[in-house]
Amino acid sequence: MKFINICVVVMLLMVSSCAKKDTTVNLKFDATYRNATLAFSPNTVTDDSANVVKYEELNFLLSNIELVREDNSVAKLADVSYVDFVNTENSGASLFSDVPVGTYKALRFSIGLDSAQNEQDPSEIGDSDPRQKAQYWGWMKYVFMRIEGKAQLANTSGGFNQLLVFHTGTDVLYRTITLNGPIVINEGDNTLQVNFELNKIFFGAKPLDIKLNDESFTHSESTSASYHTAVNISDNLQQAFSIGQ
């Protein structure tokens, strides 16, 4: 009787330790431009309006990254992550562990920080917090997305003298992206690739014309004549992301 009790306890321990079947997911963002890998300055890309552009900065803060099950319950991958396509130490990939094995109907994340996350300034969070890698400007708080570059406008020959500066931020420009699956997470290492098509930021449902001064920059200042540029960029984000192959 004593032996049976011991066996039952041990079996229960084994089952409880293994039933979770957690694994790792490497969430990898690839920046593309008109379906090709985005090349940064000094390389150039040509946009849908024939402007030739050198991109110099592209990074964003992600938050509330989660996989969504059929019953709408979620497996959270991370509260916050940071992706920088230019600086190699933040290569656009994030490794998440303890992800339950299973089939999910969608990947969901937000570009930017929710108001609670945005409220904590860098002096109030740990040194290893991904927010430490992002820019923080007092009045704006965290920069959600930073895109910078230079353009030689179509039908001009003056060189790359149209400067492009797009900084989105503030609570009202927080946007949640849902990418439908199915997404299968197996035991072992998983790579989940997400494409970010930069061209669609400017040629999405709310297009922008970078030859116009007020559409060639924004710092998300709500009183600025360029504020609609920050809104359009934020609203075009859903279209720009897709699950990769």
Partner 1 sequence: MNIRIVASFLLLGAMLSFSQCKPEGPDEPTETDADYIGTPYTLTKPGAKWRNIPDMSANPMTVEGIRLGRMLFFDPVLSNDSSISCSTCHEPQHAFTDNKVLSTNIFGPTKRNTPSIQNSVWMKPLFWDGRQNTIEETCTDALLHEQNFNASMAITKLSKRPEYVALFKKAFGRPGDITDVKIEKALSQFIRTALSSKSKFDLSQYGQYTLTASEANGFAIFSSERGDCFHCHTDGPYLTFTDNKFHNNALQEASSVYNFKDKGMGEATPLDTNVYGKFKTPTLRNLAYTAPYFHDGRYATLEQLVNFYSDSLRLSPTVDPLMKKLNIGGLHLNTQEKADLIAFLNTLNDESFVSDTSFTNPFK
Would you tell me which residues interact with partner 1 (CB under 8 A)?
Answer: 3, 6-7, 10-11, 13-14, 17-18, 41-42, 56-57, 121-123, 127, 135-139, 148-150, 159-165, 213, 216-217, 219, 221, 224
* Residue 139: CB minimum distance to partner 1, A: 6
Select 64 or 162, whichever has its Cβ closest to partner 1.
162
* Residue 222: CB minimum distance to partner 1, A: 11
Q: What is the Cα 179 distance to its own chain's centre?
A: 12
Only one residue has tokens 């509260």, namely 79
Please, where are the H alpha helices in the chain? 2-18, 115-119, 199-202, 227-235, 237-240
Select 70 or 121, whichever has its Cβ closest to partner 1.
121
Identify the DSSP state of 174: -
* Residue 27: CB minimum distance to partner 1, A: 20
* Residue 110: CB minimum distance to partner 1, A: 21
Cβ proximity of 168 and 112 under 8 Å? yes
Question: What are the backbone dihedrals phi and psi of residue 75, each rounded to the nearest 5 degrees, phi first?
Answer: -110, 115
Rg (CA), the chain: 21
Select 32 or 218, whichever has its Cβ closest to partner 1.
218
* Rounded Cα gap, residues 181 and 183, in angstroms: 5
Please, where are the H alpha helices in 121-236? 199-202, 227-235
Only one residue has tokens 């592209």, namely 58
* Residue 153: CB minimum distance to partner 1, A: 11
* Residue 6: CB minimum distance to partner 1, A: 6
Select 50 or 163, whichever has its Cβ closest to partner 1.
163
* Rounded Cα gap, residues 56 and 45, in angstroms: 12
Cβ proximity of 114 and 174 under 8 Å? yes
Select 30 or 56, whichever has its Cβ closest to partner 1.
56
Select 195 or 234, whichever has its Cβ closest to partner 1.
234
Cβ proximity of 41 and 52 under 8 Å? no
Q: What is the Cα 19 distance to its own chain's centre?
A: 31
Select 18 or 36, whichever has its Cβ closest to partner 1.
18
* Residue 197: CB minimum distance to partner 1, A: 21
